[in-house]
Amino acid sequence: MKDTRERLSHITLSLHWLIAFFILGLMSLGVYMTETSSYDLYPTHKSLGIFIFFFIVIRALWRWKNGWPQPVAQHKSWEEALAKLVHWVLILGTLAFPISGMLLSIGGGHGLQLFGLDLMSANLVDGQRQTLNPDLASIAGEVHESLLPIMLAAILLHVAGALKHHIIDKNNTLKRMLGFKNQ
């Protein structure tokens, strides 16, 4: 395994920040849509979710191939365990969000569209959308909705950990994630 204490690869940094930006944006958009019944935004939400899923899969494969970055400094065992748990929740959650959303759409008979391009046609009977698999749609909907508080908690812990490293521990963890070479 490569020693990543000094600097992370451009691929690692790019995938991290791209996915972070999209996941936070899609979570915000999802909350807005459900709170305001803004049904006209659902195609955009779904398309962005399908689009970012491609990068999420690449990131998961990249992480599997390259392992987790080595910590910049030594930490207490409970901190390392919590960091590992949070990282696993984030990587699995970023996979589960779009998968559950796509299964919800498919099971609900909506099909899958990527910015207007049919990846899977809606289930139409006599011109009316028909639920394809109500159980699949229900389970996927529950998973998709349940992920929000879990991911929010993991993101808050992740950010708090980064800030702790930077402000309290005064190590280069945050600088490394921002692409700066450690000094």
What would the DSSP string read from start to end of 44-113?
Answer: HHHHHHHHHHHHHHHHHHHHHHH-PPPPSS---HHHHHHHHHHHHHHHHHHHHHHHHHHHHHHHTT--EE
Predicted pLDDT of residue 167? 84
Specify the pLDDT at position 6: 65
Write the burial class of residue 57 (CB in 10 Å: 0-12 exposed, 13-18 middle, 19+ buried).
middle
SS3 at position 9: coil
Measured distance CA(154)–CA(90) in Å, rounded: 7
What pTM, to 2 d.p., does this model score? 0.89
- Closest by CA to 21, choosing from 70, 55, 64, 71, is 55
- Structural tokens at position 142: 């529950």
For 15, list phi and psi in degrees, rounded to 5. -65, -40
Beta bridge partner(s), residue 112: 120
- If we measure between CA atoms, which residue out of 73, 83, 26, 84 comes closest to residue 52? 26
Provide the residue ranges of all domains of the chain, joining segments of one domain with +: 10-177
Q: Per-residue pLDDT tens, the chain, 183 aa: give them.
A: 344 456 788 999 999 999 999 999 999 999 999 999 999 999 999 999 999 999 999 999 999 998 888 877 778 899 899 999 999 999 999 999 999 999 999 999 999 999 999 999 999 999 999 999 999 999 999 999 999 999 999 999 999 998 888 888 788 777 888 887 654
Q: What does the alpha-carbon distance between residue 22 and residue 156 come to, in Å, rounded to a whole number?
A: 16
pLDDT, residue 1, reads: 37
pLDDT for 24:
97
Contact assessment for residue 55 and residue 15, using Cβ atoms and an 8 Å cutoff: yes
Question: 144: how many CB neighbours lie within 10 A of its CB?
Answer: 21
